[in-house]
Structure 1
Amino acid sequence: MKASRVAGTLGLTAALVLTGTLPAFGAVSNPVSEKQVVTSTVEKPDSNPVMAKISKDAAIKLVKALVDIPVDFKLTNSRYEPTGWQTDNGSWNLNFERIVKERYSSINVAVDAETGKLISYYLNNNELDKKVTYPPKVDLLKAKEIANQLLLKMNPDVAASVVYNDSYDKLFRVPLQGQVRYSLRFDRSVNGVKYPADGISFEIDGDGQMVSYNYSWHVSRKFASAVPVIKQDQALDTYKVKNKPFLQYIVVTPPGGKSQIALSYSLLTNPLDAATGEMISPYYMFNPGSLKTITEKPLAAKPVAGKDITEDQAVAIAKKLVVIPAGAVLQNPGFTEYQDTASIDGTRATWEISWRVGKENDKDKVYYRAAVNAKTGELVSYSYDNQKLWQPLTTAEEKIRITDEKAQLAVEEFLKKVLPQYSNELAIVKPSISNSKFGMGSTSRTMYFDVRRIIGGISTEMDSVSVSIDLLKGTVVNYYSNISAYKYPTVPNKTIELAKAQDLLLAPYTLELQYYDDQINDRVYFDSNYKKDLAPAKLAYMLQASYYDNVYLDAETGNWRKRDTGEVTIPGKVVVTDIAEHPAQRELQLMVDYQALDVKDGKVNPEQVITRGEFIKMLVITLNGGNYYPYFSSERSNSYKDVKNDSALFGYVESAVDAGILDRSSEVLDPDGKMNREEMAQLIVRALGFDKLANQAGLFNLDTMDAGAVKLKGQAAIVLSLGIMSKSNGSYFMPANEVTRAEAAVAFFHFLEVRPTMQSSSLQNNYRY
C-alpha cells in the first residue's frame, strides 16, 4: 500500500498550479445559526419568517410552476436562510424525496425569498431499470440548444446579459458512456466584459433532461470602468515580467510502482490587474519557494532507521515533546504497520498513543492523542480533544486572545522542538482570514497554520506539516507531520532556461479580460457585513486554458511528462494525419482521444495489425471511461513472465487479470503477438461477463460457413449476434484472421453500444464531459 497525505498543497494540471476565479456557481450556502433556520419534515401550514417577502407556501408553488416536480416526490424538508451567496437575498431551500423499492431519489431546489427566482435545482433520479443508450441520445450540440432554450424560458430578463462560456467546448471529448452530463455555462457580461462570479449554468443528461441548474446574480454588485489601463496587446508581456516559473519537487510513479522524485517547473495562474499591471495574489496562490524557512541550518541531524522503538520508548518520546497533564491515564497504545514508498525502508510503522483526563463516563473527559514513528522516533501527530475548542470566542475572550504574530511564533518554537532536524526546510504560510473565523464574524478558538517543506529554495509537493494553535493559551492543540523519506537531491541538476520554461508553461493559455473579485472568497462566509464596503469588481487578465492534461514540465529536459507515470508525452488534443476519410475515422478518433491507441509521428496506422498488449490496453481504458492508468504497488507480482512490473503494459494487464478478462492458464501472455478475431471475440465476451455462458456446450449455434474451424463457438456467436463483430465475406467468421487497429476500434465502438443493453440494472456512474 502506498500512503500519501497532502496537507495544504496545490495540485498540478498542465504543470500549472491551478486556481483562479471565484466559484462561479457555488451551491454552498452560508453557515447559519440554529435560530436562523426553519425546518420541517412534511408540508405544514405556512410559517413565514418576518424577514421573508415570499412565504414558504408561496415558494413551493413557485417551484412547482418553474420546474417539474413529479407527484410521487414529497416535500420532506424546508429551510429558510436569511443570507445568500448566489443572490443578494435570503432563500427558501426545499427538498423533495421519493423512495421506490428501496431506491432513493431526490430533488433539491432553492428560491430567492425576495424575487421568487429559481436559484438552484438538483435532480437525483435513481429510477429502477432506467435504459441507457450509447451513443447518448443527445450530443453536445443538442445539449447546448436545450440549454439556450431553458435560458430564454427561465431567465428572459437577463438572457441578453450573459455570454456562453466556450471553454467547455474546447475541452470536450465524445463520451465513452451513455449516461453522461453536459455541463454548460453562461457568464454574466457587464459592459461587454465577462464577470464569471455571476452567471447561469445547466447540466443536461444524455436523454436531454435538465438534471441541475444554478443561478448566481448579484444586482447590487458594482463594477469598475470597462476600459483597462493595460491593453490586450500589452498583457502577455506584462504577465511574463510579473509572473515567473518556479522549481518544484514532485512525486511520480513509473510503471513498477516505485515512486520517485522529479524536478518540475510550475507557474502560478494569478490574475493580472489590468489597471496596475501587478499580479493579484490571493493567500492561496503563492510561490512556495519564496517562503522563508524557520532557521538557516538544521537544529539536529536527520533520523535514520535503526532498531525499532518500543512501546515504552514511544510513550516517553511523546511525553517529552508535548504536554500531557499529570494524572492523565494512559490508554492501550496501538501499533500499525504498512507498506509506504515514502518511508525510509518502504514500511511505515507507528505507535498510536492516547491519554484520558477524567473518568471514562465523565461527559467532560478529555483525550490527548499522539503518534510516534516506530522507525525514527519522530512525532507524527498530536491532538487535544476538547469540545470547547469548537466554540467561538466570546466578546470578552476576543479582547485577550493572542495576536496572529504570537500564534505564528508559537508554531515556530513548537516545530523547532518536535522537528529540529527539518527546521531549515520548514516554512510557515501566512494564514488567511478564514483560518480563525467561524462564520458571521465570530472568531474561532484556534488558528490553523500550513507549513511547507523547502529544500535548497525548491518547494516540495507532498511534504508538509499542519499545526493549530489555541488563541487563548497559545498552545498547540493539533499537529500532523507529512514529512516523507524520499531522497531529494542535495544540489539540483542543470535545468532549462527560465524563459523557455515560461513559454512552454504558457503555451496552452490565452489571457482574457474579465471582471474579478478577490474580496468575496473569505468574507462572504465569515463577515456578515461584507457587502457594505465591497470595492467595485476590477478588471483583470485571466489565464484561459485550451486544454487540461495531467502532465508536468520536466525542468531538466523541457519535455512534457505524464503526471502519474513520468512518461514523455505531448499535451493537448492528439492530431492524427492518416485517418481522414477512413471508414473507421470516428471510431479511431474516439480511441485516440482517450489515449487508448498510441500515435507515433502523427500517425495511428489504422491498417496495422494490433498486438495483444495494445488490445488489452484499449479494452481496459474503454471499460473505465477513458484516460485510465491502473496503479499497482511495487509489491504486486506479475501474472505473466513476459509482462514485468516495469512494463508500460503492466497496469493494464494486471487490471484485466483482476477483472477476469485474462486468465492465468499460461505463464506467458506474448503482449507483442498479433491479435486474431477469435481471441478478440473471447476477450470482449469476457468483458461483457458472458464467458461462462459462452462455454456451455451446444447452447449457441454459430451460423457461419467455417464454424468447424472455430474453437470458441459460443464467443463467436455472441459477438456476431450482438453486432459487435461482423462476418467476413458474408458467411465466414475467419477466426485466425489478424485484427487491424481500425477493426479493433470499430469492435470497441459496437461494444460500447451493446454494453448498456446488457446491464441488469441502470448504470450508477454519471460521467461529465
Structure 2
Amino acid sequence: MIIKKKLNVFPGYSVDDNKLNAIDGNTGEVISLLNQDKVYKYKKNEASDMTNAANSGLQNSNQKLTEEEIDAIGNVSKFITKEKASDIIKESIDTTNFDMTINDSSLSKDRINENYIWEIGFKDGDGKVDAKTGELLSFYFYNNKDGNENMSKSDAQKVAEQFLKKTAEEKFSQTKYEDNNNLKFKNISQDGNIYSFNFVRQVNGIDFDSNSLEVEIDKTTGKIIEYQNRWYDNVTFPDISQAITKEAAFNKINEYGDFGLEYNLTDNNKVSLVYNFRNLKGNYIINPISGVRIDSEGKTYKDNKLPEYCDISGHPCEKIVKELLENGYYISGEKFNPDSNITQINFLKYLYSPEQSSYSDDDFYEMLIDRGIIQKDEKNPESLLSNQDIAKIVVRYLGYDKVASHPEIFKNPFNDSIEYKYQGYAAICYSFGIMKGDNNGNFNGTSKVSNAESAQIIYNILKQNQSAK
C-alpha cells in the first residue's frame, strides 16, 4: 500500500535561527554569527557511509515499490528502462575515477510529486532519475583520489551554474544563489575540499526554502560530486497580496522574541555585541495575513507545554508518572486517568513522547510501521491494549522481534497459560523486568492495561535501556 501525502504549502513570515545572522550593535550592519552546530566531517574511509546518507537524503518521501505494486501500475512500458536511467546519470558527470558498476536498482514512487523514480546504485555512488521524463533528480559520488587542482570558489560556481543550465535550465532560471554562510539544508565541512552551491526557488520574489538545486564540487579535482534537485512540480502557492508588511511582522514576532542586545560569538575567538531575538527557539512563524503565530504545518500554534495532572495525587502511580513527566514522557490532557484502559494511540505516543509531537497521527503511525513497531494491519488507534498486545510492542521497541517470533525456544515464566504466539514476547518482557505479572505471577494476556500500568511498563523500559548503556 502506498500512502498518499497531501502537499501543504502556506505563506508565513519567519525568523529562522539557522540563518545565523544578527545586527552588529555598533555599526547596524548585518553580521554572521558563529555556527556552533555539529557538522559532518568527511573522511575517505567513510565514503560508504556518505553514500548511504545520500540514499536516504533527497526524495526521502519516496517509497520503494514491490514487484506486485509495479505490476499493478499497468503500462510499465511508459517508463524508461533502468539501463536508460543509468546512462542519463553517467552522461551527466565526468565518470573518470568513478566505478560505475551497477550494484542495485529499484523503482519507487515520490508521494509528493506523484511520479515514479529509478534509483540506481553504483559501486562508487548512486543517482535518481524520473522514470517517465528522464529528468535527472540527484546523484552522489565519492572519489578516493585527491586531484592536484585548487579550484577557486568563483570558478567552481561557474561550473555549477553551467551544469544547472544544461541539466535543469527552466528550474535554474527560477532560483537565486544562496551563499554557503546561510545554507539552510546543511553546513558541510569536508576537509576544506568541497564547495557547496545552493540555488533556492523564488516564488513572487520570495524564497521557497523547501525547493532548491544544489551542486557540490571537489575543488581538488574540479568534479561535480553531488547534485540534488529538490522541487515540487505540482504545487499551488497561496495569494499573499494582502500580507502585512515586514515591519509589522517584525513587531508581532518581537512580542515574543524579545529583540535586543546580547553578546554572541562571531568568530572562534571573537565575542561581539549584537541585536538579536533572544527568546526564540527554532523557527517562529506568523500568518502573513492575520499576524497570528502558526506552526510548521501552517496551523494555529499551540504551546506544547507538559501537562499538570490533577488526578494522580495519592494514587500508587503518582511517583512514577511524575518522574516520567519530568523526563518528557506524558499522556496529553489535564487528567491522567490512571485507572482508565489505555488506547493503542495513547500508549504509542506515551512510549514515543520525545518525538511524537512532531508528527501528525498518520505520519506517526507511518513512522511506527517503518520501524516495525506495529504492522499495517495492526493499526487501530482507539483499540484498548491488552498485556499481550503491549508485550509485542515492547519487544519490537527493544529490537527482539525476530527472536520473540519463535515461541518454541521460550519457556513460559508466568503461572498462567499464554497464547502460544505471544509466549516469546511475554518471556522477554519478564526477563528484562518490564512485565512481571500480577501478585499471583499471572501474565493475564488478554486483560486490558490501564494508564497507570502503562506508566510502570514504560518506566521499566527506560530503566532497562539506561542500565544497558
Q: Same-fold call, TM > 0.5?
A: yes
Q: Match for 2:5: what amino acid? A: K
| Residue 272 in structure 1 maps to residue 23 in structure 2 | yes
Report if the CA contact (8 A) 2:356-2:364 is conserved: no
Structure 1 gaps of 5+ residues are 3-255, 286-304, 355-366, 394-400, 521-533, 632-644, 765-769
CA distance in 1, matches of 2:322, 2:177: 48
**SS at 2:9's partner residue?**
strand
Structure 1 counterpart of 2:56: none
Structure 2 gaps of 5+ residues are 37-75
Structure 1 counterpart of 2:135: 378
Q: Match for 1:574: what amino acid? A: L
**SS at 1:428's partner residue?**
strand
Structure 1 residues 438 and 330: alpha-carbon distance in aligned structure 2, compared to 1, 3 A threshold: closer
Report if the CA contact (8 A) 1:595-1:627 is conserved: no
Structure 1 counterpart of 2:79: 308
Deviation at 1:609, TM superposition (A): 1.9
| Residue 621 in structure 1 maps to residue 352 in structure 2 | yes
Q: Match for 1:741: what amino acid? A: N
Structure 2 counterpart of 1:749: 459
- Per-residue CA deviations over 1:15-36 (Å, capped at 9, x if unaligned) read xxxxxxxxxxxxxxxxxxxxxx
Structure 1 counterpart of 2:168: 419
Structure 1 residues 701 and 694: alpha-carbon distance in aligned structure 2, compared to 1, 3 A threshold: farther
- Per-residue CA deviations over 1:353-394 (Å, capped at 9, x if unaligned) read 99xxxxxxxxxxxx999875442233445789887764464x
Report if the CA contact (8 A) 1:450-1:464 is conserved: yes
Deviation at 1:318, TM superposition (A): 7.0
Identity of aligned residues (%): 16
- Per-residue CA deviations over 1:13-68 (Å, capped at 9, x if unaligned) read xxxxxxxxxxxxxxxxxxxxxxxxxxxxxxxxxxxxxxxxxxxxxxxxxxxxxxxx
Deviation at 1:457, TM superposition (A): 2.7
Return the match for 1:540 from 274, 280, 299.
274
- Per-residue CA deviations over 1:646-694 (Å, capped at 9, x if unaligned) read 75773477479x34xx799xx777643455xxx2476248726789599
CA distance in 1, matches of 2:83, 2:299: 46
Report if the CA contact (8 A) 2:129-2:136 is conserved: yes
| Residue 430 in structure 1 maps to residue 179 in structure 2 | yes
Structure 2 counterpart of 1:763: 468
**SS at 2:459's partner residue?**
helix
Deviation at 1:539, TM superposition (A): 1.6
CA distance in 2, matches of 1:482, 1:390: 27
- Per-residue CA deviations over 1:575-608 (Å, capped at 9, x if unaligned) read 4362574544444345556464122xxx134356
Counting only pairs closer than 5 Å after superposition, residues 514-533 of structure 1 correspond to structure 2 as: 514-520=262-268
Return the match for 2:202 from 454, 477, 490.
454
**SS at 1:749's partner residue?**
helix
Structure 2 counterpart of 1:339: 108
Return the match for 1:598 from 328, 332, 338.
332
Report if the CA contact (8 A) 1:331-1:353 is conserved: yes
Structure 1 counterpart of 2:41: none
Report if the CA contact (8 A) 1:283-1:432 is conserved: no
- Per-residue CA deviations over 1:498-534 (Å, capped at 9, x if unaligned) read 56755675566455754434244xxxxxxxxxxxxx8
**SS at 1:683's partner residue?**
helix
Deviation at 1:617, TM superposition (A): 1.5
Counting only pairs closer than 5 Å after superposition, residues 319-718 of structure 1 correspond to structure 2 as: 336-341=105-110, 344-349=113-118, 373-380=130-137, 390-391=147-148, 393=150, 408-430=157-179, 447-467=195-215, 477-478=224-225, 480-492=227-239, 497=244, 502=250, 509-510=257-258, 513-520=261-268, 537-545=271-279, 558=292, 560-561=294-295, 570-576=302-308, 578-579=310-311, 581=313, 583=315, 584-589=317-322, 594=328, 596-599=330-333, 603-607=334-338, 609-618=340-349, 620-621=351-352, 626-628=354-356, 647=362, 650-651=365-366, 654=369, 658-659=372-373, 671-674=381-384, 679-680=386-387, 683-684=390-391, 687=394, 700-701=414-415
**SS at 1:627's partner residue?**
helix
Report if the CA contact (8 A) 2:130-2:136 is conserved: yes
Structure 1 residues 572 and 447: alpha-carbon distance in aligned structure 2, compared to 1, 3 A threshold: same
CA distance in 1, matches of 2:125, 2:445: 68
- Per-residue CA deviations over 1:154-209 (Å, capped at 9, x if unaligned) read xxxxxxxxxxxxxxxxxxxxxxxxxxxxxxxxxxxxxxxxxxxxxxxxxxxxxxxx
Report if the CA contact (8 A) 1:265-1:552 is conserved: yes
CA distance in 1, matches of 2:279, 2:125: 47
Structure 1 residues 372 and 651: alpha-carbon distance in aligned structure 2, compared to 1, 3 A threshold: closer
Deviation at 1:280, TM superposition (A): 1.7
Q: Match for 2:272: what amino acid? A: K
Structure 1 residues 387 and 686: alpha-carbon distance in aligned structure 2, compared to 1, 3 A threshold: closer
Deviation at 1:482, TM superposition (A): 1.8
Structure 1 residues 737 and 686: alpha-carbon distance in aligned structure 2, compared to 1, 3 A threshold: closer
CA distance in 1, matches of 2:119, 2:81: 10
Structure 1 residues 334 and 654: alpha-carbon distance in aligned structure 2, compared to 1, 3 A threshold: closer
Report if the CA contact (8 A) 1:309-1:374 is conserved: yes
Counting only pairs closer than 5 Å after superposition, residues 79-478 of structure 1 correspond to structure 2 as: 256=3, 258=5, 260-263=7-10, 264-269=12-17, 270-281=21-32, 307-309=78-80, 336-341=105-110, 344-349=113-118, 373-380=130-137, 390-391=147-148, 393=150, 408-430=157-179, 447-467=195-215, 477-478=224-225
Larger radius of gyration: 1
Structure 1 residues 724 and 630: alpha-carbon distance in aligned structure 2, compared to 1, 3 A threshold: farther
CA distance in 2, matches of 1:335, 1:726: 48
Bigger share in helix: 2
| Aligned-CA RMSD value | 6.0
Tell me how many residue pairs correspond in the alignment. 403
Report if the CA contact (8 A) 2:286-2:294 is conserved: yes
Q: Match for 1:484: what amino acid? A: W
Structure 1 residues 461 and 756: alpha-carbon distance in aligned structure 2, compared to 1, 3 A threshold: same
CA distance in 2, matches of 1:723, 1:277: 59
CA distance in 2, matches of 1:588, 1:511: 38
CA distance in 2, matches of 1:731, 1:317: 65
Deviation at 1:268, TM superposition (A): 3.2
Report if the CA contact (8 A) 1:516-1:538 is conserved: yes
Structure 1 residues 323 and 343: alpha-carbon distance in aligned structure 2, compared to 1, 3 A threshold: farther
Structure 1 residues 573 and 480: alpha-carbon distance in aligned structure 2, compared to 1, 3 A threshold: same
Report if the CA contact (8 A) 1:371-1:380 is conserved: yes
Q: Match for 2:198: what amino acid? A: D
**SS at 2:227's partner residue?**
strand
CA distance in 1, matches of 2:378, 2:125: 55
CA distance in 2, matches of 1:432, 1:607: 51
CA distance in 2, matches of 1:279, 1:258: 39
Give the TM-score, by structure 1 length.
Answer: 0.40
**SS at 2:30's partner residue?**
coil
CA distance in 1, matches of 2:339, 2:156: 66
CA distance in 2, matches of 1:478, 1:722: 50
CA distance in 2, matches of 1:346, 1:373: 7
Give the TM-score, by structure 2 length.
Answer: 0.59
